[in-house]
């Protein structure tokens, strides 16, 4: 079972005020929005890292966007 844990972070006043506005507008807590934002960031980072790994792999074949379109339209 995954237990929730607390973390602390410093943010600018602008970020805090924006987060407060979003929280009020959506009637969700700051914690909810911070958790969702971190989840999205982590998932995007993982996808980005996989893409970089593939791009930098000398055995992987890289094709241009035009070539991809040509192959998809074939």
pLDDT higher than 90, residue 2:
no
pTM value > 0.75: no
Would you state the pLDDT for residue 21?
A: 98
What's the distance, CA 72 to chain centroid? 28
- pLDDT tens for 27-56 read 999 999 999 999 999 999 999 999 899 888
CB distance 71 to 63 below 8 Å: yes
For the ranges 12-16, 44-48, 66-70, the maximum mean pLDDT occurs at 12-16
CA-CA distance, 8 to 14, in Å (whole number)?
A: 17
| Whole-number percent of the chain with pLDDT over 90 | 70
pLDDT higher than 70, residue 1:
no
């Amino acid at each position: 079972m995954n237990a929730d844990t607390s973390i602390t972070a410093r943010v600018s006043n602008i970020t805090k005020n924006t987060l407060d506005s979003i929280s009020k507008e959506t009637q969700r807590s700051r914690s909810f929005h911070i958790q969702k934002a971190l989840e999205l960031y982590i998932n995007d980072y993982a996808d980005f890292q996989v893409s970089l790994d593939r791009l930098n792999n000398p055995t992987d074949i890289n094709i241009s966007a035009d070539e991809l379109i040509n192959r998809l339209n074939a």
